[in-house]
Structure 1
Amino acid sequence: MFLGFQSDTGPLARLVVKHVRDAFVSEAKIDAEWRSLGYTARPDLARAIDQYDAFVAAIRQLAPEVEIDFLEADGTTTLDSLYPRDAAIATSKGMVLCNMGKPARAGEPAAEGQLFSQADIPVCGAISGAGHIEGGDVAWIDEHTLAVGRGYRTNEEGIRQLRALLGDAAEIVRVPMPHYRGPGDVFHLMSILSPIDRDLALVYSPLMVVPFREILLERGIGLVEVPDEEFDSMGCNVLAVAPRKCVMIDGNPVTRRRLEEAGCEVVAIDGSEICSKGAGGPTCLTRPILRQCEDVAGTGTARSAGTPQPAA
């Protein structure tokens, strides 16, 4: 039996990323794809590489011992493979490979699955057929509760299959998503929610349904509110590298101040090429695999999707 720590806020020990040089590959690939994928402007490859290196450095600054696995360049994925969060979900039973709601991203789960196989990271199953789910619509509220956004990228059949795969490993809270800007927009649950600590989340309440917001409050989770003027600049997309240690996009000073007032250490990165143009923030740029947790005795323990643990 596999046991693990299901979290989006525990200290990062291992994660999967794809360097922008292996996602964007070349000027020709950028020219061929950026418009059809819905990027707001053409990314500058040289600047993107510099920004990505700074992003990785920011993660290492907050988590010096983190192990990072890099996805390789391949011929089956697009520029969007820069955002590996969306292609898989980390659970105590192993990784779940997603089935992408955006057709152009269909090759990404298999590419990540190949890396998981090579790195001996267990995979417990995959969403398939008519089911669609993307990792950006999925967030752990606590180690037993998984929130899943039901929107244009994640459908009912995808949620049903995920429930069947997880069984009693987690309670799934289905979160209806608003139409907002329609099916062509990049809009996930994690566009309006970033877990920061066990008892703290960053949220954009104007696009959050009331029952889900009440669930967070009822569970004692404090909410840091993103102001209207910083939503489009992805002020709500913040990566928790450890509890209250965050990486966010520069240019969101009110959100940053509110996080710091809540006791957070914040490192801001320039995301103009790697985040803003593709509408993918720091959470999207990573697929966490292993996070630290504290066991009952209070000692630090590293657990991951599919990490074997002794029976109780």
Structure 2
Amino acid sequence: MPEKYTSQSEYLPLDQVLVMPVAEAFQDRSKIEAEWEKLNYLELPDLPLALAEYQDFMSLLRKSGAEIFSFAKGDSLTLDAVYCRDASIVTDQGVILCRMGKEQRQGEPLIQEKVFETLDIPILGRIEAPGTLEGGDVAWLDRQTLAVGRSYRTNSNGIEQLTGMMRAIGVDVITVALPHFRGPSDVFHLMSILSPLDRDLAAVYSPLMPIAFRNILLERGYQLVEVPESEFDSLGCNILATGPRQCVMAEGNPITEAALRKEGCTVSTYTGNEVSVKGGGGPTCLTRPLRRRI
């Protein structure tokens, strides 16, 4: 990859991104009715409202100037495929295909692999059984450092495999042991409590963050925007950076939004009740960034 681009950042200006359109993931009301409870959604999503919300989200993504590609629907995919970050990790040397910790989602990496092939993006590796790893548990702290949450979706074996792949390309891995919280059925990833927004700024939900990892962020010079408890379930800590201090987040988080603006962030919001809150996937979950401009 030319040096003017990198895949190893969460905050540099977004240049290329993949999405799974909600129309392809949700498809129709019968599919939603058949799957939402089994997938542990909070409530039955309303398809027309979800489509409208997603259209608004996509308009914000387009305003970033990023080139947008789409994954195709597949018979093995569930509603959760809309949260396309989880099935892969992108590095400057290629893609690592994940092995999903949520059993119903294990068909997603294969579907994504086909799209990466059409885009001539090489496959660097893949997580094999018994390892599990989901992209929502992975966040770049800088271009040489990757934080990985050990959770109910990402196990120690998966992290060991990832660490070996990262070591081979000169990247250090920091493992973050996540708490039990609401248990195995809940959607709880590292990026549920961490969103890097600039080289020295991150939104965090400290009550669920290990002290050792929080101290690592502080030692690295991060200023932390603390998301309040009242805005955790409304995805106040799941924020997509489309550029340094350029943020997209679900609406309904006014305290966090005001705190971000105080730190010089430009914040755009979308209504995300149907497409984000009910399924537990905010704007970072709805995107698989491919590369960012240096």
- How far residue 2 of structure 1 moved from its aligned partner, in angstroms, is 8.9
> 2: distance between equivalents of 1:189 and 1:114?
27
SS at match of 1:184: coil
How far 1:262 moved relative to its partner? 0.5
Alignment of 1:13-162 (within 5 A): 13-61=15-63, 63-64=64-65, 66-162=66-162
Q: Secondary structure of the equivalent of 2:133?
A: coil
The question of 1:279 aligning with 2:280 is answered yes
Q: Distance in 1 between matches of 2:134 and 2:170?
A: 19
| Number of the residue aligned with 2:165 | 165
Describe the SS at the equivalent of 1:46: helix
Question: May I ask how many residue pairs the two structures share in their alignment?
Answer: 291
Q: Does the 8 A contact of 2:95 with 2:123 survive in 1?
A: yes
Question: SS of 1:72's equivalent?
Answer: coil
Task: Give the CA RMSD over aligned residues.
Answer: 1.2
Give the C-alpha shift of residue 169 in structure 1.
2.3
Cα separation, 2, equivalents of 1:119 and 1:24? 25
Cα-to-partner distance string for 1:187-208 (whole Å, 9 max, x where unaligned): 0000000010011000000110
Gaps of 5+ in 2: none
1:164-220, CA deviations, whole angstroms, 9 ceiling, x for partnerless residues?
A: 112242100000000101111100000000010011000000110011001100011
Check 1:76–1:46 CA distance in 2 against 1; reply closer, same or farther (3 A cut). Answer: same
In the alignment, what sits opposite 1:309? none
User: What one-letter code is carried by the residue in structure 2 that aligns with 1:155?
Assistant: N
The aligned residue for residue 269 of structure 1 is 270
1:33, distance to aligned residue in structure 2 (A): 0.5
1:252-287 alpha-carbon deviations (Å, 9 max, x no partner): 000000000000000010001100110000000000
1:11 aligned partner = 13
Between the aligned residues of both structures, percent identity stands at: 52
Q: Bigger CA drift: 162-171 or 138-147? A: 162-171
Q: What secondary structure is seen at the aligned counterpart in 1 of 2:280?
A: coil
Unpaired runs of 5+ residues, structure 1, are 294-312
Q: TM-score, with normalisation over the residues of structure 2? A: 0.97
Residue number in structure 2 paired with 1:182: 183
Q: Which residue in the other structure is 1:301 paired with?
A: none
Equivalent position SS for 2:50: helix
Runs of 4+ in 1 over 6 A off after TM superposition: 1-4
Q: Taking structure 1 as the reference length, what is the TM-score of the superposition?
A: 0.91
Take 2:92 and 2:156, find their aligned partners in 1: how far apart are those partners? 22
1:257 partnered with 2:262: no
CA distance, structure 1, for counterparts of residue 141 and residue 173 of structure 2? 10
* Structure 1 position 160, deviation (Å): 0.7
- 1:36, distance to aligned residue in structure 2 (A): 0.4
Q: What is the CA-CA distance between 1:74 and the residue it aligns to?
A: 1.3
**Alpha-carbon distance in 2 for matches of 1:131, 1:53:** 35
Shift of 1:72: 1.2
Structure 2 letter corresponding to 1:187: F
AA in 1 matched with 2:200: D
Question: Secondary structure of 1:268's partner?
Answer: strand
